[in-house]
Structure 1
Amino acid sequence: MPRPRYPRLLEQFLESEAKGGLVLFLAAFLAFVLANSPGAAAYFALREIPVGLRFGGFSLEKPLLLWVNDLLMALFFLLVGLELKREILSGELKELRKAGLVLAGALGGMAFPAVLYLMVNPSLPQARGWGVPMATDIAFALGVLALVPRVPLGLKLFLTALAIVDDLGAVLVIALFYTGGLEGTYLLLAALTLGVLLLLNRVGIWYLWPYLLLGLPLWYFVLKSGLHATLAGVLLALAIPLRRGRPFQGAAMETDPEALEGELEALEEEVGEAQSPLHRLEHTLHPWVAYGVLPTFAFFNAGVALTGLEFGAVALGVALGLLLGKPLGILLLVWLALRLRLGVLPEGVDLKAILGVGFLAGIGFTMALFIAGLAFEEGLLDQAKVGILSASLLAGLLGFILVRASLDRARA
């Protein structure tokens, strides 16, 4: 009997996230080594190379680092938006009771780190970094979890959904608290472009190319509006249809080998057309983001020179938020949700495993580095990076130990 398609897609997603975490780590490690080597000057100069686009009277020029952070990361945010929409409309977050533990854990995992950070850094400009320890790096977290043998699927789903909700929180934090002065004209143009995209969805356009084509001016208008350009990715994801393009009919299989090959090719094409535009785009984007966008971002952002750098209050606040705030916030609010009967633990999972997952959620990395770049200039930014890198490493190690110990004890 053939296996259901959704579990296979889920397994592929979890596996690719785990492998992507390894590539991400290697890129970050390379950046850190280069930033503290004789080639450091060349590494930092590479990030500042000016790159521009010109078309008639139109021109746009930025350092290479900002092209990576503003344009490439918009693809990451597009993928985040697609995952959020899918989970809310047809996945783990569709039913409130089923999502109760995830929502409670995510809320605790965002609030506690921010509060701990502000307790250590109550004054500006250091206080601007309160959003840094809030988010979870899903690729790294699932990568570490993949090292634990025989992890229950429910625990993987819990961590995945938790990280996705964390990303939503990070997107809202960026939109509300890390934007500059707003330009009304470009905001209006962005809103009109989004309106056209939503109209395409409403009238049943399921081809992807009109959405992607309009995504380019949407990105530019959001960039110029004062909002962070990557938010265009989330807005575009909202407009991508989740409904199927057409019903899947299938076909009777021929017995002749040549005819059978033709039937299989036609069936493959029909399966592709029957998928929703959202699923097709998510499936296409995922390897490019996991193995291209995120490692590139890590390479350009994880490099920090340790010479003369002190582990100051910003680094301490970030480290406490990720190492202490994340696991405690997740554990306490999951426990409270269980007491209030707002959800149930996944099969084969206890609160000790949830605590271990709470530490894995303390691997902030990608989104933490991203928010740190919005919150700080050089100096404080380097401190934040040290806090992120050191805390993420320790959180991954502690999370691995606790999850493995809890599962071994449960099987004993």
Structure 2
Amino acid sequence: MEKKDANFQPWERAFGRIATPLEDFIHDETASGIILIVCTVIALFLANSFLLHHYEHILHTEIAFSLGQWELRHTLHHWINDGLMTLFFFVVGLEIKREVIVGELSSFSAALMPIIAAIGGMVVPALLFFAINSGGEGESGWGVPMATDIAFAVGVLVLLGSRVPKTVLTFLVALAIVDDLGAVVVIALFYTDQIHTNWLMLVTVMLVALIIINRIGIRKPWPYFVIGTLMWFSMLQSGVHATLAGVITALTIPVRPKFEHKLFVGHMTKLLGSLKARPADTKSTECIIRDGHTRAVLQTLENGIHSVESPLQRLEHNMHLPVAFIIIPLFALANAGIPIELSALPQTVSHPVALGVMFGLVVGKLLGIAGLTWLAIKLGLGKLPEGMNTKHLIGVGFIGGIGFTMSIFIAELGFAGQAENLLMAKTGVLFASLIAGMVGFLWLFFTTNKQYSTE
């Protein structure tokens, strides 16, 4: 469509010159990682400046929702971690379901190597952490170094551009999806408070309701969100971590569209033909407003597009930006504020919890991901994707050590009520993620100088 055929508002062209570069940045694959880094730096500044008191005051401000005698009251920090992060886990659930049904995890042969790599990348870091902290107060944090932050990890690979083949990125994403699934299971089984069975029974009822509306063919998102919200509240009261409601709800979102592609194309071709046959109105700004037939055709086209789209992929697409650019940055602002005293840094990084996290993420991830995958290949269980070699695998092992979001989230659960250990764990996550990201980037940059096609 030519720009000369468009109708512009008086200031629209000028605003477009500002908005277009911003839109390009938002849709760039590295943008979410950059925003996350900026928010982390801001949180660290706030926690280590004269603004610390105000920062803590804001995080501990209570926000309540009430209806008559009923009230739900929590701090802002709690609302972010247990409320907004549910939407993050919802997107994680959508990604897991998509990968299992149509993605890299849909066939056993393609999924085997990423699954083995992910298992190694979870088990070895946890064992290293436990070995360092066994018998101490910090041993409950063994799940902290198991996680990989998919946004940061993918961002590092994207920065390498054509130096790394697309198959490496695909392998890392599949690995991170399995890793997320493992983290969800760990949270559900090992980081759950006392269980209240009455509320858990309500969670089961909500799950059955979600399955029923899926099976009867409801594809609009709002019924799932309503029931999912009720499930979140029930799970919050049950003792099971409430964010798991996001994953469970996501797994019930329909994948199949209402209409098949062939039927859609035929129907839309007829509609576009009838639209094209209409006589053109010279007053183009008034054409849609005056012509009821055109409006009806356009509405039918819109409904048809929704009917041929996968509800799961549409939701994943719509939720990506708010989660990546609002929820995760807010999580970083609320949780990455770690007071750091340079004079006490040697004592901090040598603390068993911080040491366990750093060894787990930097060394354990490398040994687990690269080591177990290499062993599986030697045993003849599978092979690396086309274009991916051992150097790439080692790089993925390093980059997999970027824990950040999920690691901090698990630390908040594992060290609830243990302020010192929580601080040590967060410090370990921060330093380990920085080291793993830098080493992984430099390793791939200097060992893989071949330029691969980005197509």
TM class by shorter-chain length?
Answer: over 0.9
1:267 Cα deviation after fit:
4.2
1:131 Cα deviation after fit:
0.2
Partner deviation per Cα, 1:320-365 (whole Å, 9 max, x = no partner):
0000000111011111222233332222211111110111110000
1:115 matches 2:127: yes
Q: Judging changes above 3 Å, is the alpha-carbon distance between structure 1 residues 345 and 112 closer, same or farther for their aligned structure 2 residues?
A: same
Question: Quick one: which amino acid aligns to residue 40 of structure 1?
Answer: L
Q: Judging changes above 3 Å, is the alpha-carbon distance between structure 1 residues 390 and 199 closer, same or farther for their aligned structure 2 residues?
A: same
State how 1:238-387 maps to structure 2 within 5 Å.
Answer: 238-248=251-261, 249-250=264-265, 251-252=268-269, 253-254=272-273, 267=301, 269-307=303-341, 310-311=348-349, 312-376=351-415, 377-387=418-428
Quick check: 2:29–2:158 contact (8 Å CA) kept in 1? Answer: no
Structure 1 CA distance, aligned partners of 2:241 and 2:166? Answer: 36
Partner deviation per Cα, 1:274-306 (whole Å, 9 max, x = no partner):
112211211111111111110000000000111
Structure 2 CA distance, aligned partners of 1:45 and 1:123? Answer: 35
Structure 2 CA distance, aligned partners of 1:349 and 1:258? Answer: 55
1:154 Cα deviation after fit:
0.6
Structure 2 CA distance, aligned partners of 1:313 and 1:291? Answer: 34
Q: Residue 389 of structure 1 aligns to a residue in which SS?
A: helix
1:264 Cα deviation after fit:
7.5
Question: Quick one: which amino acid aligns to residue 242 of structure 1?
Answer: V
Structure 2 CA distance, aligned partners of 1:359 and 1:266? Answer: 50
Q: Judging changes above 3 Å, is the alpha-carbon distance between structure 1 residues 212 and 17 closer, same or farther for their aligned structure 2 residues?
A: farther
Structure 1 CA distance, aligned partners of 2:451 and 2:142? Answer: 37
1:405 Cα deviation after fit:
2.5
Structure 1 CA distance, aligned partners of 2:73 and 2:258? Answer: 39
Q: 134, 143, 146: which one pairs with 1:134?
A: 146
1:54 Cα deviation after fit:
0.2
Q: Judging changes above 3 Å, is the alpha-carbon distance between structure 1 residues 41 and 380 closer, same or farther for their aligned structure 2 residues?
A: same
Quick check: 1:97–1:342 contact (8 Å CA) kept in 2? Answer: no
1:270 Cα deviation after fit:
2.1
Structure 1 CA distance, aligned partners of 2:211 and 2:110? Answer: 29
Quick check: 2:109–2:382 contact (8 Å CA) kept in 1? Answer: yes
Structure 2 CA distance, aligned partners of 1:387 and 1:75? Answer: 26
Structure 1 CA distance, aligned partners of 2:335 and 2:118? Answer: 26
Q: Residue 60 of structure 1 aligns to a residue in which SS?
A: strand
1:228 Cα deviation after fit:
0.4
Which of these two proteins has the greater Rg computed from alpha carbons? 2
Structure 1 CA distance, aligned partners of 2:431 and 2:177? Answer: 23
Residue number in structure 1 paired with 2:20: none
Partner deviation per Cα, 1:178-216 (whole Å, 9 max, x = no partner):
001000100000110111111111111112111111111
Q: Judging changes above 3 Å, is the alpha-carbon distance between structure 1 residues 317 and 191 closer, same or farther for their aligned structure 2 residues?
A: same
Residue number in structure 2 paired with 1:398: 439
Q: Judging changes above 3 Å, is the alpha-carbon distance between structure 1 residues 44 and 355 closer, same or farther for their aligned structure 2 residues?
A: same
State how 1:35-50 maps to structure 2 within 5 Å.
Answer: 35-50=47-62
Q: Which moved more, 1:301-310 or 1:96-105?
A: 301-310
Q: Residue 92 of structure 2 aligns to a residue in which SS?
A: helix
State how 1:11-50 maps to structure 2 within 5 Å.
Answer: 17-50=29-62
Structure 2 unaligned blocks of 5 or more: 1-23, 282-287, 289-293
State how 1:50-65 maps to structure 2 within 5 Å.
Answer: 50-65=62-77
Question: Quick one: which amino acid aligns to residue 389 of structure 1?
Answer: L
Question: Quick one: which amino acid aligns to residue 393 of structure 1?
Answer: L
Residue number in structure 2 paired with 1:237: 250
Structure 2 CA distance, aligned partners of 1:265 and 1:156? Answer: 39
Q: Judging changes above 3 Å, is the alpha-carbon distance between structure 1 residues 16 and 243 closer, same or farther for their aligned structure 2 residues?
A: farther
Root mean square deviation of aligned Cα: 2.1
Q: Residue 186 of structure 2 aligns to a residue in which SS?
A: helix
Partner deviation per Cα, 1:217-264 (whole Å, 9 max, x = no partner):
1000001000001011011112111111222312335456959x9678
Structure 2 CA distance, aligned partners of 1:406 and 1:197? Answer: 49
Residue number in structure 2 paired with 1:168: 181
TM (norm. structure 1) is 0.92
Identity of matched residues, %: 45
Structure 1 CA distance, aligned partners of 2:174 and 2:428? Answer: 25
Quick check: 2:89–2:246 contact (8 Å CA) kept in 1? Answer: yes
Residue number in structure 2 paired with 1:7: none
Question: Quick one: which amino acid aligns to residue 373 of structure 2?
Answer: V
Q: Residue 419 of structure 2 aligns to a residue in which SS?
A: coil
Q: Residue 379 of structure 1 aligns to a residue in which SS?
A: helix
TM (norm. structure 2) is 0.84
1:178 matches 2:191: yes
Structure 2 CA distance, aligned partners of 1:79 and 1:47? Answer: 25
Q: Residue 366 of structure 2 aligns to a residue in which SS?
A: helix
Structure 2 CA distance, aligned partners of 1:338 and 1:360? Answer: 21
Quick check: 2:199–2:235 contact (8 Å CA) kept in 1? Answer: yes
Residue number in structure 2 paired with 1:219: 232
Structure 2 CA distance, aligned partners of 1:346 and 1:406? Answer: 18
Quick check: 2:118–2:369 contact (8 Å CA) kept in 1? Answer: yes
Quick check: 1:16–1:287 contact (8 Å CA) kept in 2? Answer: no
Q: Judging changes above 3 Å, is the alpha-carbon distance between structure 1 residues 116 and 15 closer, same or farther for their aligned structure 2 residues?
A: farther
Q: Judging changes above 3 Å, is the alpha-carbon distance between structure 1 residues 17 and 368 closer, same or farther for their aligned structure 2 residues?
A: farther
Q: Residue 91 of structure 1 aligns to a residue in which SS?
A: coil
1:272 Cα deviation after fit:
2.5
Q: How many residues matched?
A: 399
Structure 2 CA distance, aligned partners of 1:44 and 1:374? Answer: 19
Q: Residue 146 of structure 1 aligns to a residue in which SS?
A: helix
Q: Which moved more, 1:289-298 or 1:345-354?
A: 345-354
